[in-house]
Amino acid sequence: MAEAAFLHRAYCHYVKDATPLLLREDFAGTCAVASAWVMMDDEHQAMAVESHGPTARWAQRNTDRELGDRSADLHIVQADVLDVDGPKVDITCALNFSTFIYHDRASLKQYFKAARRGLRRDGLLVIDAYGGPGAMKPGTQTRKVSVSRQEPGFTYLWEQRSFDPITHRTECRIHFELAAGRRIDSAFIYRWRLWTMPELLELMLEAGFKGAGIWCDRIDEASGSSDGVYHPTAKMPAREDWVAYVIGQK
């Protein structure tokens, strides 16, 4: 729900005299953002685009159960995001670093152009990005996840397996350690290009967006912790790791 709320807030920051109603989630996977968008408001509707058939079908079953009588307000489309033509939406989002699947400027620019065509007047394209020196170092980060008091938790492992400074290609994997010593290795594999902020901003403008900007969180200097709230900014402090949103304005 936090991502859906952020998308609404970002739109209202740029567009003062309109309310966003229609969202498109590209590379949708579980369609969690699109589902949360529908649940936010009775007038909200969403389209979710996912190319992988089994994932799209799982998402359809899951969101039908979650949304109940609102399930008709979420339309899941199994297709390549470049092939979807309409309807035009207020916001298109491509999150979970999905645009990093494009490894060259021409391919990423093609996606930005397609996303822009699918927006209504004054619509937004919102993507996320990550970086910093830590994003270029092979290694594994672990996090324990609690499920409930009745069910055992699990350990989530994010592995940065490789990074090439010449091409900015990186391979990352997600593993899970479960109860009773069970382990799932390479549950998810990502082969991405680690795009930089200047490249993303430049490509959005080249694709025809009238403006492109960065939204990031703020760090408390005393504690070193994030405030968890993303704000538009013209400067970002140097950090070992960071996550930010890049927003294109049609």
- Residue with the two structure tokens 């996606």: 111
174/66 same-domain check:
no
Neighbours of 194 (CB within 10 A): 21
- What is the number of domains present in the chain? 2
Question: Given a cut of 70, is residue 222 above it in pLDDT?
Answer: no
Question: Given a cut of 80, is residue 171 above it in pLDDT?
Answer: yes
Give the pLDDT confidence of 2-23 residue by residue, as tens digits: 899 999 999 999 999 899 999 9
Question: Given a cut of 80, is residue 149 above it in pLDDT?
Answer: no
113/208 same-domain check:
yes
d(CA 248, CA 94): 12
Last residue of a domain, one of 171, 192, 213: 192
62/79 same-domain check:
yes
Task: State residue 20's pLDDT score.
Answer: 97
Task: State residue 38's pLDDT score.
Answer: 98
139/238 same-domain check:
no
54/71 same-domain check:
yes
pTM over cut 0.75: yes
106/118 same-domain check:
yes
Neighbours of 30 (CB within 10 A): 17
d(CA 107, CA 71): 33
177/55 same-domain check:
no
Give the pLDDT confidence of 187-217 residue by residue, as tens digits: 999 999 999 999 999 999 999 999 999 999 9
Question: Given a cut of 80, is residue 128 above it in pLDDT?
Answer: yes
The single-letter code of the amino acid at 120 is R
51/156 same-domain check:
no
40/156 same-domain check:
no
Range of the domain at 121: 2-131+194-249
Pair 1, 39: CB distance under 8 Å: yes
207/99 same-domain check:
yes
Query: Three-class SS of residue 202?
Result: helix
What DSSP element (H or E) covers 89? strand 89-94
Last residue of a domain, one of 145, 166, 192: 192
d(CA 40, CA 28): 18
CA distances from residue 12 to 63, 122, 145, 209, 247 in whole angstroms, order as listed? 27, 11, 34, 18, 13
Q: Which of 206, 41, 238, 10 is nearest to 113 (CA)?
A: 206
Pair 68, 45: CB distance under 8 Å: no
In eight-state DSSP terms, residue 219 is B
Last residue of a domain, one of 159, 174, 192: 192
96/151 same-domain check:
no
Question: Given a cut of 90, is residue 33 above it in pLDDT?
Answer: yes
Q: Identify the band that residue 1 occupies on the pLDDT scale cut at 50, 70 and 90.
A: confident
CATH for 100: 3.40.50.150
72/184 same-domain check:
no
- Residue with the two structure tokens 């927003």: 247
